[in-house]
């Protein structure tokens, strides 16, 4: 195999596949990307961790068609450091890949392409076109709620399930908070599902990366796999087979109290008082009274902070404390000028909504202070 291309294109494509090779405890081959140069001026780059597989392509000058595998991470690091735009990759004897640019030469160890695991992309399957912006919202507005650690008590993925015949809902929850985004089923028509599916965390991150600059994409479901296709990339994702907890009971149906507040002001005020929070003292107290929202952060070690915002609210006084990170993340995904906070009482989760986008709900359980 011998190809010539430019540094920018090559590093971009390697960035797309690199995250998939970062799994701990995998076999050495799983850290490798499969490079395949074909006669039609194409370099295909693939990677898999056996659960999540990607195949993407770029246009290059193919001098000799062929294939090999090389450490995705090392190749990306090498390419980033190259002195010139022009790069050539060339298979050598003794299982080496020669990377050349200007007078810089790197010879990287390879593993033969025959040893690369088989990836299932179900290419004969019928895929349906979707609006990439909608998919970006479904995952982008919920992803923050996926559990951070490998927590055996919650499901580390986005749960997607139909609500009646009308809606499709995407949910993430880590046991302390929950976020969902729902869209009319017709906007995702073609994605047939009777029950819910759970798309694992890493797959969600990869989807968002792959569709970042796309307008239209293709999706399909097959044999526990979720398939996504763009102009140049194919993603195959093994779904999580875990039962999702019945989260619906914990969203209070009745939320008699609410107010609207300017999103940017709220975000800035929370960020401001959060300077005095730390890993031990991580809550911000919201004190709601007629016409005003008072924010307080207390920290026995550092001191305390407060700020106040004008809101349109008339009703009983209400005070609640939330983890500051959860609060920021729930607000951050709201794109409208205003945020709506709704609640039942201080024992139930507070609900953050986007008044201009009814699809989004962010629920945070309070902290007992």
Partner 1 sequence: MVRRVMHMDMDAFYASVEQVDNPHLKGKPVIIGASKRGMVSAASYEARKYGVHSAMPVFQARKLCPNGIFLPGRKERYREISRKIMAMLQNVSPLVEQVSIDEAFVDISGTGALHGPPGELGQKLKARIFKSTSLTCSIGIAPNKFLAKIASDMKKPDGLTIIEEEEVHSMLGQLPLSKIPGIGTKTTTFLERLGVKSPADILRHPPAFWTQKLGKAGSHLYRMAQGIDHSPVTPSPVIKSCSAEDTFPEDTQDMGLVKKWLFHQAETVARELRHKGLKGRTISLKVKFRDFKIVTRSLTLPDPTNCTQTIYEGACRLLERLHTSGKIRLVGVGLANFQKGPQQMNLYSNLHTLRSERLDSAMDKIREKYGDELIKKGLIMDLNP
Nearer to partner 1, 70 or 351 (CB): 351
Using an 8 Å Cβ cutoff, are 367 and 323 in contact?
yes
Nearer to partner 1, 50 or 250 (CB): 250
Block residue for tokens 């239209």: 216
CB atoms within 10 A of CB 254: 8
Question: Which residues lie closer than 8 Å to 174 by C-beta, 6 or more apart?
Answer: 145, 146, 147, 148, 151, 154
Q: What distance in Å separates the CA atoms of residue 323 and residue 364, rounded to the nearest whole number?
A: 8
Nearer to partner 1, 172 or 203 (CB): 172
Q: What distance in Å separates the CA atoms of residue 221 and residue 232, rounded to the nearest whole number?
A: 19
Nearer to partner 1, 68 or 323 (CB): 323
Using an 8 Å Cβ cutoff, are 175 and 132 in contact?
no
Q: Which of helix, strand or coil describes residue 175?
A: coil
Smallest separation (angstroms) from partner 1 to the CB of 282: 8
Nearer to partner 1, 116 or 283 (CB): 283
**Interface with partner 1 (CB under 8 A):** 151-154, 173, 175-178, 245, 247, 250, 280-283, 321, 323, 347, 349, 363, 365-369
Q: CA of 202: how far to CAs of 53, 56, 205, in Å? A: 11, 17, 5
Nearer to partner 1, 151 or 264 (CB): 151
Smallest separation (angstroms) from partner 1 to the CB of 306: 17
Smallest separation (angstroms) from partner 1 to the CB of 277: 11
Smallest separation (angstroms) from partner 1 to the CB of 369: 5
Q: What distance in Å separates the CA atoms of residue 204 and residue 171, rounded to the nearest whole number?
A: 12
What would the DSSP string read from start to end of 22-68? --TT--GGGGEEEEEEETTTEEEEEEE-SSEEEEEEEE-EEEE-EEE
Smallest separation (angstroms) from partner 1 to the CB of 283: 5
Nearer to partner 1, 152 or 164 (CB): 152
Smallest separation (angstroms) from partner 1 to the CB of 335: 25
Smallest separation (angstroms) from partner 1 to the CB of 347: 8
Q: What distance in Å separates the CA atoms of residue 86 and residue 140, rounded to the nearest whole number?
A: 36
Using an 8 Å Cβ cutoff, are 84 and 101 in contact?
yes
Nearer to partner 1, 3 or 321 (CB): 321
Q: What distance in Å separates the CA atoms of residue 337 and residue 356, rounded to the nearest whole number?
A: 9
Smallest separation (angstroms) from partner 1 to the CB of 78: 39
């Amino acid at each position: 195999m011998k190809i010539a291309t430019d540094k920018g294109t090559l590093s971009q494509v390697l960035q797309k596949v690199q995250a998939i090779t970062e799994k701990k405890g995998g076999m050495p081959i799983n850290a490798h990307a499969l490079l395949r140069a074909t006669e039609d001026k194409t370099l295909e780059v693939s990677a898999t961790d056996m659960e999540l597989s990607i195949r993407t392509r770029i246009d290059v000058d193919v001098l000799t068609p062929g294939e090999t595998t090389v450490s995705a991470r090392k190749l990306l690091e090498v390419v980033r450091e190259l002195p010139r735009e022009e790069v050539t990759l060339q298979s050598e004897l003794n299982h080496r890949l020669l990377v050349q640019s200007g007078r810089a030469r790197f010879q990287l160890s390879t593993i033969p392409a025959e040893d690369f695991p088989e990836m299932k992309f179900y290419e004969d399957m019928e895929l349906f076109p979707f609006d990439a912006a909608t998919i970006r919202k479904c995952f982008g507005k919920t992803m923050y709620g996926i559990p951070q650690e490998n927590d055996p008590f919650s499901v580390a993925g986005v749960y997607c399930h139909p609500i009646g015949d009308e809606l499709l809902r995407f949910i993430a929850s880590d046991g302390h908070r929950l976020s969902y985004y729902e869209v009319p089923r017709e906007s995702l028509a073609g994605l047939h599902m009777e029950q819910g599916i759970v798309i694992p965390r890493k797959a969600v991150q990869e989807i968002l990366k792959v569709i970042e600059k796309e307008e239209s994409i293709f999706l399909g479901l097959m044999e526990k796999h979720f398939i996504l296709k763009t102009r140049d990339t194919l993603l195959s994702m093994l779904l999580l087979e875990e039962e999702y907890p019945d989260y619906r009971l914990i969203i209070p149906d009745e939320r008699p109290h609410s107010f609207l507040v300017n999103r940017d002001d709220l975000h800035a005020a929370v960020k401001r008082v959060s300077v005095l929070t730390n890993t031990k003292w991580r809550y911000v107290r919201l004190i709601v009274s007629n016409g005003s929202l008072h924010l307080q952060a207390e920290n026995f070690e550092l001191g305390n902070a407060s700020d106040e915002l004008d809101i349109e609210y008339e009703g009983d006084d209400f005070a609640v404390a939330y983890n500051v990170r959860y609060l920021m993340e729930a607000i951050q995904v709201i794109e409208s000028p205003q945020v709506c906070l709704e609640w039942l009482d201080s024992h139930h989760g507070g609900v953050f909504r986007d008044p201009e986008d009814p699809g989004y709900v962010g629920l945070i359980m309070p902290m007992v202070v």
